[in-house]
Amino acid sequence: MKFENIKLFSVYKLILTFLKVKKEGLICVSNLCATCNQDQMDILVKNGCIDVIFSFLSEDMTLLGYVVNGLESILYHGRQIQMEFNYAENIYGVYLEEKRYLEKLEHLIINAATPKELSLKIEELINNYLKEFFEKI
């Protein structure tokens, strides 16, 4: 493992340790996802980053933008892997489907409490990265 990946992993573990300060923890995880490369994203996902991000869905609607931004970064990297190795589906999308997180995203779109701007952003996220999963239904 490269030094920069070890350093990133250490930062990620530190963030998880301080998730009691939830809003700041989510912002850090979301920003970390937005700035890492493919190898670093793989480390984050293997260590539960997606579950951490989705744990905030039921917390507070004001945090939803950070959830969506972090998820978008993860799915972007999943799409890159999908294209590079000619996979049929986004590998991180498969994980979302297995954990039933896709249903949570779909619920957010129809939830009246979800701000319209974020609802549209979630729809865009689905169209850009997860369309094949929703076509199965």
- Residue with structure tokens 């993860």? 74
| pLDDT tens sequence across 39-71 | 999 988 988 889 989 988 875 778 889 999 999
Q: How long is the chain?
A: 137
CATH number of the domain within which 11 lies: 1.25.10.10
Q: What is the pLDDT of residue 125?
A: 93
Query: Which sign does the torsion angle of CA 20, 23, 25, 30 carry?
Result: positive
Q: What is the mean pLDDT of the chain?
A: 84
| pLDDT tens sequence across 103-115 | 999 888 888 888 8
Q: Provide the number of structural domains found in the chain.
A: 1
Q: What is the pLDDT of residue 3?
A: 46
Q: Report phi then psi at 57, rounded to 5.
A: -60, -35
Tell me the whole-structure pTM to 2 decimals: 0.82
Structural domain including 51 reads 3-135
